[in-house]
Chains A and B, each alone.
Chain A
Amino acid sequence: MIWENEFVELDKTIHERKSFDCGKEELNNFLQTRATNHMQAGVSRTFLLPSKDNLPDGKTSICAFYTIAGATVERSTLPRSLAKKLPHYPVPVLLIGQLAVHISCTGQGLGKITLIEALKRLAQINEHMPAYAVIVDCLDEEAEGFYQKYGFVELCRINGRARMYLPMRTVLELFQDN
């Protein structure tokens, strides 16, 4: 598949979700059955990179996608001695919930392009809705290694899966000269 050079918001009337296959059932299933519902319910927004070629039914294939949402992180308890130094409220963060590349597009660097484009969009959102960090949920060890390579650090584990973060300041510095 030859891809466009701009990520756009998922539109089920234009984008063919059923044929998307990143080799991970959970991510395929999310895009195919839940992403649109999540957008309609205001839970998250999904952006994708369309293929340049149209399918016979006029729809376009999806080469890669990512999903973003707002979230908060808070300390499990707040000791009195530190109460002045630490925030008393949940800290706002931005979340990359899912990120995947179609198996027919792997090995061409599209994973890192998708990550950069997701971070770019989150940096723009940060201008209007400031956040302290970008959080990612890792489906498996492969995803964990991917994010670790780009500087993400583990925040916690949920049901054995790593949740990692990259400070927003780092993201902003990355795009300073763009």
Chain B
Amino acid sequence: MATARIDMRLEEAIKLKAEKASALLGYKSLTEYVVRLMDERSTEVIAQHGSMVADNDVFDMFWNACNKTIKPTKALADANQFAKEHGFK
């Protein structure tokens, strides 16, 4: 597996706290602890970012709407026409 380096500066107090937490969790080094934290937190953030959960009844309405052909509103059709008239193809 390819590896990469990160050089980072941080407050002394944060480093000491992290070393304590790393020791309590039984990691062999601060690097191992930081890498594990980064990996887990990054996975969480990425998953949350693009994922939306809707209440059951709202999701069902959403799903039904997505499977029907609902005509664009007049305002939307007019906006499309307006864009065309202004040279947007």
A contacts, CB < 8 Å to B = 5-6, 43, 69-77, 79, 82, 86-87, 90-91, 93, 95, 109, 112-113, 115-117, 132-133, 135, 149-151, 153, 155-156, 163, 165, 167-171, 173-175, 178
| Size of interface on B: residues with Cβ below 8 Å to A | 34
CB distance from A173 to the nearest CB of B (A): 6
What number of residue pairs across chains A and B have CB atoms under 8 A from each other?
122
| CB-based contact A76/B80 at 8 Å | no
CB distance from B17 to the nearest CB of A (A): 28
Which residues on the A side are within 8 Å of B50 (C-beta)? 69-72, 95
| CB-based contact B72/A167 at 8 Å | no
Which residues on the A side are within 8 Å of B72 (C-beta)? 151, 170-171, 173-174
B contacts, CB < 8 Å to A = 49-56, 58-60, 62-63, 65-73, 75-77, 79-80, 82-84, 86-89
Which residues on the B side are within 8 Å of A82 (C-beta)? 60
Point out which of B53, B62, B68, B69 has the most chain A C-beta atoms below 10 A from its C-beta: B62
